[in-house]
Amino acid sequence: MKKLVSRETLGIAKRILRNGNVCDNCLGRQFAQMYTGMTNNERGRIVRKALGKAETKKKCVVCKGFFQNIDKYADEAMKALKGIEFESFVVGTVMDSDLIDREESLWEDIGIEYCETLKAESNRELGKILERRMKKKVDEKAPEVNVILNLEKNKIELQINPLFVFGKYKKLIRGIPQTKWEKYKETVEDIIAKPFMRDSKGSGHAMHAAGREDIDARCLDWRPFIFEVLSSKKRKLNLERIKMEINKGRKVGVEDLMFSSKKEVIWVKSLQPDKTYRVIVSFEKPINEKGMEKVKKILGEVKQKTPKRVMHRRADKIRVKKVKGISWKRINNKKLEIEIKGEAGLYIKELITGDDGRTRPSLTGILKNPAKVETLDVVKIHL
Ligand SMILES: [Zn+2]
């Protein structure tokens, strides 16, 4: 460490104090890079003592008493945080323009070689007070709450960060979309949201899942998802109880609920598992055993132009996907139960119908017998 209070320091300090009284924090902050291992307030006191100057009761010409009042901002922050469950937080300061002007004109005078900004000191010092008084932790990377000291408006503002819960769901009924969709009143997301929103007192929600099934298809294997509660005021949720409530409704089943993070949203969205579907297919003309054997020809690569039914929301292009497995059971001479294993993104309905030649090959094309999907279920997600 450099010798405390060098001649250079004393010269700068004199220039700082030339303009009027400057508090210990504002004085010490200008030497923050020079002497480490202490607070700005401590630094300021040492420098002032070395100058032989006594502290005056006059208001600081830089911060106008901000640091003397910092406890009041802490009081206000604690009031705002009342009733909110959190363990980690971070403080951010929105500076007012006069304060910025005064700090910058000081720097014009003395240079910025060793200084720290008022904003940085405010964030840290208010953070330390709140840590001590609330027994919570500052976490700059992933805070649960952002405490914003807005000096422009002279008030504390809170930004409560989302709560993420990982889980897996099954969709046990047909006719509901996974997430909000045009005219549908009920969604998988809404069913899951109900107990979550009541217990978390959040302001909204979002659902991030590893793919989605068609509205009229059930999903009979566990599909991973992350449920996001916006502005979650409660975080110690009883996930076991929430799970039981969702499952009681018998429309959607959930399991493996556990607290998660934003990072895992990206992971869940990136999962592209193969899936096995069970399809009841009816044919226009009867099919015999020999015809059924031809079904196997569907294995391998399939070229799919964007299906007509989704063209309004998807770019029109050709996707090449693989059919990896197929097995079937005869129901009657015009109806088969088929299980198809396909790559993520394979359009199953079009694989059956051919979508007027937009999907090749298709069951309709191979058997030269128009085929129709009666029902469709996801029966296995190969994770
Ligand atoms: Zn000051």
229-249 tens-digit pLDDT: 999 999 999 999 999 999 999
Helix count and strand count (H, E) for the chain: 12, 14
Structure tokens at 325: 């497995």
Say yes or no: domain 274-382 is CATH 3.30.70.3190: yes
Q: Kindly give the distance from the C-alpha atom of residue 93 to the centroid of ligand 1, in angstroms, as a whole number.
A: 16
Q: Kindly give the distance from the C-alpha atom of residue 24 to the centroid of ligand 1, in angstroms, as a whole number.
A: 7
Q: Kindly give the distance from the C-alpha atom of residue 174 to the centroid of ligand 1, in angstroms, as a whole number.
A: 66
Q: Kindly give the distance from the C-alpha atom of residue 3 to the centroid of ligand 1, in angstroms, as a whole number.
A: 25
Q: Where in the chain is the domain with CATH 3.30.70.2510?
A: 163-270
Mean pLDDT for the stretch of residues 61-88:
95
Please tell me the least confidently modeled range out of 103-107, 199-203, 267-271, 311-315: 311-315
Structure tokens at 337: 């139960």
Of 55, 60, 57, 49, nearest in space to 26 by CA? 60
Structure tokens at 149: 């000291």
Catalytic, 214? Answer yes
Which band of pLDDT confidence, cut at 50, 70 and 90, is reported for residue 4? low
Tell me the fold of 163-270. Answer: Alpha-Beta Plaits (3.30.70)
Structure tokens at 219: 């999903």
**CB count in 10 Å sphere of residue 20:** 12
Mean pLDDT for the stretch of residues 38-61:
89
Q: Please tell me the distance from the alpha carbon of residue 71 to that of residue 11, in angstroms, as a whole number.
A: 32
Tell me the whole-structure pTM to 2 decimals.
0.87
Confidence check: pLDDT of 281 > 50: yes
Catalytic residue among 190, 214, 355, 377: 214
Which phi and psi angles does 185 have, rounded to 5°? -85, -30
Q: What mean pLDDT is reported for the chain?
A: 94
Q: Kindly give the distance from the C-alpha atom of residue 155 to the centroid of ligand 1, in angstroms, as a whole number.
A: 19
Which residues have CB atoms below 5 A from the ion given as ligand 1? 23, 26, 60, 62-63
Residues 86 and 109: beta-carbon distance below 8 Å: no
Q: Where in the chain is the domain with CATH 3.30.70.3190?
A: 274-382
| Residue 2: per-residue pLDDT | 46
Of 86, 240, 263, 69, nearest in space to 160 by CA? 86
Q: Please tell me the distance from the alpha carbon of residue 254 to that of residue 249, in angstroms, as a whole number.
A: 11
Q: Kindly give the distance from the C-alpha atom of residue 7 to the centroid of ligand 1, in angstroms, as a whole number.
A: 23
Which positions ≥6 away from 367 have C-beta within 8 Å? Answer: 283, 287, 291, 294, 295
* SS3 label, residue 90: strand
| Residue 36: per-residue pLDDT | 81
Q: Please tell me the distance from the alpha carbon of residue 262 to that of residue 228, in angstroms, as a whole number.
A: 9
